[in-house]
Amino acid sequence: MDQQSLPESVDNRYYLEKSIFIEEIDGLELWRLGNDHFDEFNDFIFRVYGEAFGENGNLPFTHSDIAEQSKIYFHRTKVCGIKHPSGVLLGTWGLVLKDLRKDSYPLPIETRYGLSSEEIVKSTGATDISYIFNGWRTAIDKEAIQKLNIPKQKSIFIFDFLLRGLTKDFAGNSSSYLGVSEMEMLVLKYHRRVGIPWVILGEPLHFWGRDRFPCAFQLGLFEDYLKTNHPERHKFIYAK
């Protein structure tokens, strides 16, 4: 689908023609990525995912595979990026937001795993959920971070900086939001280590050479965790 001419039926609440600089903190820049970054974004994801999933020079996907899925979701996804002042893209994270009261389109996780929004909410035991946001294209370029002599532990700051941008326009109480994503066990353990209380929703699917699980977490529980264990991170992400 041509990113320049979206059909009227498409929900494009997050579509941007031109990227927006949001703020600079601690020497790094937070951006909302628009259509002018579409090709660079796909190149970035292909490179970073290639480093993560490639084996012996072989990749389980092509650049076209990455670009084709981006054509489906990029226009309805809030995509944030962290840049070095030199312009180098260091990290990305997008979310596809679904308002359960009015949106009918399937989220990426619903399509791939055959799950409905109702099944997802029920599996988590959550109540009063009004929104589900599907994490999409989360990537941090560790090689670029190393080349720029940025400390490895800065990756958690980049993670929080991205979340700060993604949740900036969330309305209402955080307990009404449910996050979902698909991830391999190694990534799941890392996310839990930085405070996201993921729950596995079902059996994994095997693709790109890995088992990837459908997962969800309650945003309100994550906020509670941060308040108790990392008040400085909570203040940074939410006290905007």
Tell me if residue 197 falls in helix, strand or coil: coil
Q: How confident is the model at residue 240, as a pLDDT?
A: 61
pLDDT average per 10 residues of sequence, the chain (240 residues): 37 81 96 96 96 88 94 91 96 94 91 95 92 94 93 88 91 90 88 85 92 94 92 87
Q: How confident is the model at residue 94, as a pLDDT?
A: 95
Q: How confident is the model at residue 140, as a pLDDT?
A: 93
Q: Tokens 């359960």 — which residue?
A: 100
Q: How confident is the model at residue 127, as a pLDDT?
A: 86
Q: Tokens 């264990």 — which residue?
A: 229
Q: How confident is the model at residue 87, as a pLDDT?
A: 95
Q: How confident is the model at residue 166, as a pLDDT?
A: 93
Q: How many C-beta atoms lie closer than 10 Å to residue 185's C-beta? A: 13
Candidate CATH numbers 3.40.50.2300, 3.40.630.30, 3.40.50.740, 2.40.50.140; the one for domain 20-238: 3.40.630.30
